[in-house]
Amino acid sequence: MEIIKDVKQLRSYLAGKTRIGCVPTMGNIHAGHLSLVKLALRKSDTVVTTIFVNRLQFNQNSDFDRYPRTLNNDLKLLKEVGNNVVFCPDEREMYPESQKYFIDPPKIAKKLEGRFRPDHFRGVCTIVLKLFNMVSPDVAVFGKKDYQQLAIIKGLVRQFSMPIEIISGETIRERTGLALSSRNVHLSSQEKIEAPRLQGSMRLIYDAIKSGDRNFVAMEYAAGESLARHGWIVDYVVIRTQDGLLRPSNKDKKFVILGAASLGKTRLIDDLEVESP
Ligand code: AMP
């Protein structure tokens, strides 16, 4: 496995390679990331996993500072699954001068995560554009775990005519239902026991929709209430259309339940797709 830290070296290594796949990550690699790498390996000839904790997409320095950085273990895990290249630039390589040009994402980026993390998606879109310009991938894989991000990246690639196929990977979970996330390391042992309730509350909505319930606002309210009763600070639990993340109308059938809530200092997000009968 090649480990590359500078862009020039990356470009020369990739020159002439056919069908390049890219998996952008912020490191602290877990089985969720590895499932995306495996998917990329099936869809391309050379897989470049990028590891870069992108300051631009964090709203609070404290969150950026305490983001887990575990490069040596990440490299070991990536090598084990057959990943070909790790691109892990430092901040100076990625931002040799302070970034003054940004992608200004549309309305879809201002709601949900965008409401609670202003400019988050501006930072995400800007770094993804930079990474795509460095890697020039034919395909790139993103997780449904970050559902809104996935939708925004698809729009970015489409509207800027980038010749990149965006593939989505399913969310990998612990047996309890808790979605794997680098932020789970910050949960105390008590919080870890409570954490699966976020997905659990979505499962209840899932079952209700499957059985024909269309009282979406009531379901959202009940889920938020139940989480709050168990000590969560709830940012949102909502039901939106899979396409465009809009409020459902009468004729919609394909939904995604999206939620974000904090336990103590740790903010978790999760989602669940569901189709009504
Ligand atoms: P991150 O390192 O958290 O920025 O995530 C990098 C990529 O991994 C993103 O496309 C995420 O959506 C995806 N990802 C994060 N957690 C999971 C998970 N539990 N299952 C599958 N993909 C995930």
What does each C-alpha distance from 132 to 3, 103, 180 come to in angstroms?
18, 13, 25
Min mean pLDDT across 62-66, 112-116, 243-247 is at 62-66
Which residue type sits at 211? S
- pLDDT, position 61: 86
* Mutational pocket test of ligand 1: of 25, 51, 127, 270, the residue with most ligand atoms within 8 Å of the beta carbon: 25
Q: How far apart are CA 22 and CA 87, in angstroms?
A: 10
Main-chain phi, psi angles of 85, to 5 degrees: -135, 135
Distance CA 190, CA 197 (A): 13
Which helix H or strand E contains 168, and what residues bound it? strand 165-169
Ligand 1 pocket residue status of 268, Cβ below 6 Å: no
30 is catalytic: no
| pLDDT, tens only, 192-219 | 999 999 999 999 999 999 999 999 999 9
Tell whether ligand 1 has an atom less than 6 A from the beta carbon of residue 35. Answer: yes
227-240 burial: b if 16+ Cβ within 10 Å, else e: beeeebebbbbbbb
Q: Among candidates 237, 232, 230, 227, which has minimal Cα distance to 260?
A: 237
* 26 pocket-lining for ligand 1 (C-beta < 6 Å): yes
Distance 270 CA to ligand 1 centre (A): 11
> What percent of the chain is predicted at pLDDT more than 70?
100
Mutate to test the pocket of ligand 1, among 146, 170, 272 (most ligand atoms within 8 A of CB): 146
Q: Is the pTM of this model over 0.95?
A: yes
Query: From the candidates 33, 120, 186, 230, which is the catalytic residue?
Result: 33
CA of 241 to the centre of ligand 1 (A): 21
CA 146 to ligand 1 center in whole angstroms: 7
Q: Which residue has the higher pLDDT, 62 or 135?
A: 135
Residue 28 CA: nearest ligand 1 atom is: 2
